[in-house]
Structure 1
Amino acid sequence: MKSKYFLFVMLAAAASSCRKYVDIKTQGSLVPKETSNYRYLLNYTYAYEQGPKLDDIASDDVQLVDGSNQVKALSGSDYYGWFPKAYLWNPVVYPIGNYQTDDAWNGMYNTILYCNTVIEEVPASTGGTAADKAELIAEAKVHRADAYLMLMNTYAKPYNTSTAGTDLGVPLVLVETTQQSLVRPSSQSVYTQIIADLNQALPNLLPQQSFNTIPSKASAYGELARCYLYMNDYANANKYADSALLTRSTLNDYSASSAFPLRKSDPEILLSKVASSGVGYQPTIMRLSDDLLNLLGTKDQRYVLFTKDAATFAASYTDAGGRFFSRDRINSEARNIGPNVPEMMLIKAEYYARTNDVGNALLWVNKLRQKRFKPADYTAATASTSADALKVVIDERHREFFCRMLRWWDMRRLKSEPAFQKTYTRVLGGVTYTLDPNSNRYVFQIPPYQVQLNPEMQQNP
């Protein structure tokens, strides 16, 4: 069946605007269909940065207090309805109605559309060298791969080698058209496409770029390492983490500074990505869970620098006590959720823990930890067995990536391992909600509005 409506109405509008951008007769320095126009299109970085915002809310990083003023603010407006629904792992987070548009789904598929425009149209463009064109296409393929990886880890089941051939992926849109099948391919098909895009991109990317919003070799290596980690292929994850670190390995020293570079120039970031719109408003500030705060401890600079008490944000929220995530407010910038240097280090640490090399696992964990404490407060992590080392690594991932998407992804991929299985509970409105390891709620539903427009697109259970 061919869909009459693409994934959402915005895509058709975006396709039109992209085509107009390169097709209309222009005056001055811009010439229709010139290769340089596509550089301007790729430099419109906002169109490529959007990622999930539900993942952090569903994770055990966040803990609302029933009856608190924040909960009243969230529950009293349809505009914020997605927050408590995601927090409670509701089957439907975006029911059809006012303010119930999934910005993340829309944003990631808009990114894919922009990328498809570049990939399809650049070869026939004029005025650019073969190398120029190859570089533009490579950058678009990295962005497209990233968007699909984020979509898969939000709206599809965690990767499982034995079932990936039959598990549903997300609609795989690879050409610039409003008429194509939206039947969901297998999970394996989507991951195969992600890996193919990244490998095809690598030879034509610059080693590094002036800004982290533009893909480089370091970006592609980082995306491959992340992709293979969430496919449970730890050897390949380690291989590409190595390649990424050979290209960029700078760590910010939290022990020495409370000032941080802008996201676009932060040396830790391999490719800048952010949570989609709606996370910057006062009611959606993330109150951190007791479990996370206990794991961090008060001497960890990640606690000192990235958490604040409620009064910092809203005096009325002090009724709930606790600490709130403040990283979004530093430099007035959204937090990065793209691949980064600490992530590569901890991917290597996990590989070593899973291959019974306790010494090297701890080596990589402690390389990171030394930059996360003041010297007087630093204590090296220790472990005597590979199982202990793996727990050390996973705990360090939790500390490093809280409220940055990856904790939810880790909860999903680890829920089948007995050492990390847990049933989570939350209370809101006097009702207790649970998330057990076998729950379907580890997968967000595709927004019902999109399914209504495209009935061939099978909904998640």
Structure 2
Amino acid sequence: MKKYEIIYLLICGIALFSCEKSFLDKKPDQALLVPSTLADFQMILDAPVFGDSPGINEISCGDFSISDAAFLRLTVLEQNAYLWKKNAFAGMPIVVEWYKAYQQVFSANVVLEGLKQMNDPSKESPDFNRLKATAWFYRALAFYELAGSFAKPYDPETARNDPGIPIRLISDVKVKSKRGTVQGTYDQILNDLKQAAYLLPETTLNKNRPTKCAAFALLSRVYLSMGNYNQALVYANEALKMNNKLLDYNELNKNAVGNVFPSPLPNGNHEVIFYRKLPLYSFPAVSPAAALDLDLYQSYADKDLRKLIFFRDRGNDVYTFRGNYSGTMTSSLFGGLATNELYLNKAECLARKNDVDGALESLNTLLKNRWERESFLPLKAEDSEECLKLILIERKKELVARGLRWSDLRRLNKDSRFAVTLRREINGVTYQLLPDDNRYVFPLPDNEITGPEMPQNP
């Protein structure tokens, strides 16, 4: 068997394991673990599995709704996520949101261990450091996305006691998995990302490989989710020093039938820092079945180009999403990192520091590229509270269908000023999700509950 075939099996082999036991305790065929050169490790890190972020959160976030008839066409998982069912995974043998993330962790650990064992001159090359940093970046991203689904939101007062996720730092499955704490989870995420940022290159040939700017942008996102707005601002600024470009929506073909955005791959769409996609679910991908919340649609002013570019009018007050930064790859929503998120991070953090002028400058820099040129009037605010409210409204409008709303709900619901109750109706029955509901944390897959060290979420 050729080496590239063996490495391909390493990349894909976890999918072939029996589902009777915990995924984290599966033992892969050791004969497959033979990568030994920098090219081998690059092949592992370029595997398709590293291209996916979780998509279930986008189904649950409340921005899109569907009809009773369309609901029946969803998978059981999608129906459960849509209605915030307590047992969302209903005994499923494979939970994709969990499985793919830990496959990313496993592969990243294989690379890190393999690189550590190398003794040839290539160990001193820039490619060696880049690959090591890439593995750290992917492991941190996987842990962060797992924590955003399967652990409580970060709270500095309770994080040292709240159950986190299993932190796997080695590929040896003989080491038993156990849940750490939320604090330990985020400490590991930040440690991996800061190490990665130090060694990652400033540019890459393809935007599905991380850069130094991507690490800074992800650090800003992580710190924002933790409520550490000082550090979120630091890293937003660091990332914007490297890329502060924005698309001018006036220059896009607003009347195009399909998606109007340029493809980010291999290196298009200068707003995109790092390309990643949300997995292909039938909801809420680009589909006539998924209608935007009408109140959200009506919050866009008529001269706001996003109202036309982001959405398609289906008639009868039904508006579906088309504003996908995946460009022509419309089958999957964009779930990566982009500069528009950074401008919003910066604006929010400055508002929370009572720097109203700085916050509005960041916000208006973004918005002037979103409105018709002759129509835009810079937003104003009397104080930091009014400014913060404006920014959070624009954040929801700008980052719709990007996989970020669920994280924003989890952190903002802790503040009574911004807490919301989500509601949906199916077949005449109203379902709701309260701001402090335990269902903002998804249950661990049933087959991972292997003992007292892996307690289920409440």
TM-score, normalised relative to structure 1: 0.86
Q: CA, structure 1 residues 71+297, in 2 after alignment: closer, same or farther (shift >3 Å)? A: farther
Q: Is residue 128 from structure 1 mapped to residue 126 from structure 2 by the alignment?
A: no
Preserved CA contact (<8 Å) 2:273 2:337: yes
Q: Distance in 2 between matches of 1:142 and 1:283?
A: 32
Structure 1 unaligned regions, length at least 5:
24-31, 75-79, 311-317
Contact 2:291 2:319 in 1 (8 A): yes
Report if aligned partners of 2:89, 2:95 keep a CA contact under 8 Å in 1: yes
Q: Is the 8 A contact 2:288 2:320 kept in 1?
A: no
Matches within 5 A, 1:92-171: 92-97=87-92, 101-125=94-118, 126=120, 128-131=122-125, 132-171=127-166
1:420 maps onto 2:410 in alignment? no
* Deviations, residues 203-238 of structure 1 (Å, cap 9, x unaligned): 211012122111110011111111111111111110
| Residues 378-433 of structure 1 deviation map (CA, whole Å, 9 limit, x = unaligned) | 23222111111001111111011111111111111000112112222221122111
Out of 272, 288, 297, the residue aligned to residue 293 of structure 1 is 297
- Amino acid aligned to 1:271: F
Paired residues of 1:353 and 1:390 also in contact (CA < 8 A) = yes
Matches of 2:367 and 2:413, distance apart in 1: 26
Deviation at 1:147, TM superposition (A): 1.1
RMSD, aligned CA: 2.4
Higher relative CO (Cα under 8 Å, sequence separation at least 6) belongs to 1
SS at match of 2:374: helix
1:325 is aligned to 2:328? no
Alignment of 1:59-458 (within 5 A): 59-65=61-67, 67=68, 69-74=69-74, 80-97=75-92, 101-125=94-118, 126=120, 128-131=122-125, 132-258=127-253, 259-264=260-265, 265=267, 266-279=269-282, 286-310=290-314, 321-328=317-324, 330-333=327-330, 334-451=332-449, 456-458=453-455
Residue deviations 1:338-395, cap 9 Å, x none?
Answer: 2221111111101111111111111101100011122134232221111110011111
SS of the aligned residue for 2:64 comes to coil
**Mapped partners of 1:284, 1:208: distance in 2:** 38
Q: Which moved more, 1:174-183 or 1:385-394?
A: 174-183
Contact persistence 2:421–2:433 (CA under 8 A): yes
Please state whether the residue corresponding to 1:169 is helix, strand or coil.
strand
3-state SS of paired residue (1:344)? helix
Offset of 1:306 from its aligned partner?
2.2
Counterpart residue identity of residue 322, structure 1 = V
Structure 2 residue identity aligned to 1:288? L
Distance 2:287 2:197 in 1: 41
Whether 1:8 aligns to 2:23 is yes
Contact residue 286 and residue 321 of structure 2 kept, 8 A: no
Q: Judging by fraction of residues, say which structure has more helix.
A: 1
Deviations 1:259-280 (A, max 9, x none): 4222332321222222124347
State the number of aligned residues. 427
Instruction: State the one-letter code of the partner of 2:112.
Output: I
State whether residues 291 and 320 of structure 2, in contact with CA within 8 Å, keep that contact through their aligned partners in structure 1: yes
| 1:5 Cα deviation from its structure 2 partner | 8.2
Asked whether 1:58 is paired with 2:64, we answer no
Structure 2: how far apart are the matches of 1:368 and 1:185?
A: 39
Q: In structure 2, give the amino acid aligned to 1:307.
A: F
| Distance (Å, rounded) in 1 between the aligned partners of 2:218 and 2:187 | 13
Identical pairs, percent: 29
Distance 1:154 1:299, change over 3 A: farther
User: Cα offset for 1:163?
Assistant: 0.3
CA 1:285–1:254 in 2, change beyond 3 Å: closer, same or farther? farther
C-alpha distance in 2 between matches for 1:422 and 1:230: 17
Q: How far is 1:12 from its partner?
A: 4.2
Q: 2:423–2:431: 8 Å Cα contact kept in structure 1? A: yes
SS in 2 for 1:434: strand
- Structure 2, unmatched stretches of 5+, are 1-18, 254-259
Cα offset, 1:182, TM superposition: 2.0
Cα distance change of structure 1 residues 449 and 300 upon mapping to structure 2, 3 Å threshold: farther
Task: Tell me, in whole angstroms, the C-alpha distance in 2 between the residues paired with 1:275 and 1:448.
Answer: 24
